[in-house]
Structure formats: C-alpha cells, structure tokens
Amino acid sequence: MPAALITGITGQDGSYLGELLLRKGYRIIGTEPSLEPSSLERIRHLQGHVDLVADDLRDQGAVMKILATFRPDEIYNFASNSFLSDSILHPVQAGEVSALGVTRILEAIRAVNPGTRFFQASSSEMFGKVTEVPQTENTPFHPRNPYGVAKVYAHLITVYYREVHNLYACSGILYNHESPRRSPLFVTRKITQGAAKIKLGLAGELRLGNLDTRRDWGYAGDYVEAMWRMLQQPEPDDYILATGETHSVRDLCELAFRHVGLDYGKYVVQDPALWRPTETGQLVGSPSKASSKLGWRPKVPFEEWGSMMVESDLEILGREIEQGGVQ
C-alpha cells in the first residue's frame, strides 16, 4: 500500500485528509510538534490506524530521520500556525516553521528519496493587498501579515525545488475552508459556538470585529479531495482551491443565529478592538484551473457547512452541560 506522511495531522485539514487516505488504502504517518504537543481530539477516531510521531520542523536532522524511517510516497505539509494574530505576535516563529520548515522538508526529500511527491498548503493570505479580483495562480503576491509573508516564501521555495531539483512538488493556494473541527480561535467557529452558547443560555452576547469583512469560504472536507488529486497528476503544478464566491461575517452571523431561532442583531456586538491591524483586500479565488485540470469543484455550500458547524457546537456544549463541564 502507498504511504503518506501528513505533517500537522492533528489539525482540521490533517484529520480530514487522514480519513480520505485511509479510505483509499494508504498507510498513514502523522506528525505533531514535539515541543508543543497538540490535542488529539480531531484524530481520536483515527488512532490505531495512524502511526503518530513527534517532529520539529526547526531541526533538519529530525526531519531527515522521519523520512528515512518511513520513506513516504507522498507528503502533505500542514505544519503551520494559521492563526494570524499569533504570527503578528511571534513573527520569527512563524518564519521558522511556516517558511524554513518547508525548505527542510524539501531538502530531506532531495536527500532521502527524490521520488516522494510533496504537497504544500499555501494560503490566500499571500495575495493580501490584492491587485485583481478574483485572484488566479498568476496574481502577484502582496502579503499583509507575517503569516502571509512566510507562506509566500514556502510557496516560492516549493516552485524552486520543482524547477531546479526536479522534485514532484505542488502548492495548493487554499482559501478559507471551515468545518466543525475548526479551532474556536477562528471567526467562523467563534460565531457558530457563540450562537450555540447563547441559545443554551451559556452567554448573553458575542463580540466580533468587522462584520462586513468578506471571505471566500468553503468546506474543509471538499478541499482535501483536491489536495490528493493534485499529487495524482502526471506533472506537478500549483492550484487555487476556492469557491469563487464570498460571504460576509455578517452573513454567517445571520445564518448561525437563524439556525437556532434567534436574531443575531440582538446579541452580536461589534468591537473595534477586535479588528485586524492590517486588513487584506477582497480575497476571492478563481477555481477554474482546479476545475478543468483536476475535475474538482467544491460540493458543500455555505449554508450547509455553516448549519453543520452550529449543530456540532450545540451537540458538544449539550454534552458538556450534562457532564457539568461548562463554565
């Protein structure tokens, strides 16, 4: 059976990709940071089917050892702290893992097994101060935060290893993709969890930043399918993975609160302190290349994944109430 290494398997994307690859008959090796072990909650159902190992993308020797031990046919790299505020507070750490960590993986592939296929999770945050709408694979980058800057480096070093060292190395430029497994630090989960808490009498208001910010939002379970398809192509290439549609934070508030029978306007408070110090432009991607070359289109619409997230948060909070664990 083919073997796949998923860095950051304990995150949202890693857990969904792990499920997909297991269904396809892969042997899965998943990594988590050795210095900051993450919660295994998202992959609890995968334990016993995944070889979980500690890694440190700041240590070239550690990366080399993992590749030499497991010799994966494919590597999917999600190892990055994607919470933007953290990158603003800790820009050096963002560069060490999200940028130089990718170089270390590519160097290890070149040294251990140049035939390994590599997927890099790039980000729409690379476009930042956008020059055109929608963005395509040829739109210039102009990131507006350290996370986006690190992702630009990682994206371009992936292109370099593909063109100069002839590695099978791809980048998926990922626009926002959500699910019930999204961290509550992200605005989508903050909204759905907030609506559920208010419905259950656990909170009286939800404080948010700019409600008119718009994003190209999709469903994470759809996006991992495209990632796998990218590594099955005859030639490596880069693809935008997006819906081509945008919705505002206000739209999601309205959907989430309507789902629980409430009017968001009575509970949501805009707090200027929660606005980003540097807002990006209108991030909306054109998925036409992924559609034509990969045969991929997002399937789960905004209304469906938004309602799915609210239902999941109602269930989680209800369970915690029964167990007496809600503060």
Cis-peptide, bond into residue 134, ω within 30° of zero: yes
Q: Which residues pair with 33 in a beta bridge?
A: 55
Whole-number Å distance between alpha carbons of 228 and 147: 24
- 3 state SS of 122: strand
Residue with tokens 């080399």: 64
Residue 317's alpha-carbon distances to 120, 144, 321, in angstroms, are: 34, 35, 6
Whole-number Å distance between alpha carbons of 181 and 18: 13
Residue 100's alpha-carbon distances to 115, 145, 148, 258, in angstroms, are: 21, 17, 14, 44
Comparing C-alpha atoms, which of 177, 186, 128, 118 is closest to residue 152?
128
Q: Which listed residue (32, 82, 122, 125) is catalytic?
A: 125
Q: Which listed residue (15, 123, 124, 179) is catalytic?
A: 123
Specify whether 125 is catalytic: yes
Specify whether 147 is catalytic: yes
Q: Which listed residue (16, 147, 219, 223) is catalytic?
A: 147
Handedness of CA 255, 128, 83, 231 (dihedral sign): positive
Q: Which residues pair with 248 in a beta bridge?
A: 214
Specify whether 123 is catalytic: yes
Tally DSSP H helices, then E strands, for the chain. 11, 13
Q: From the centroid of its chain, how far is CA 248? A: 19
Distance in angstroms between the alpha carbons of the first and the last residue of the chain: 46
Whole-number Å distance between alpha carbons of 126 and 226: 20
Contacts of 194 (CB under 8 A, 6+ apart): 203, 206, 256, 267
Whole-number Å distance between alpha carbons of 290 and 300: 16
Q: Which residues pair with 247 in a beta bridge?
A: 215
Catalytic residues: 123, 125, 147
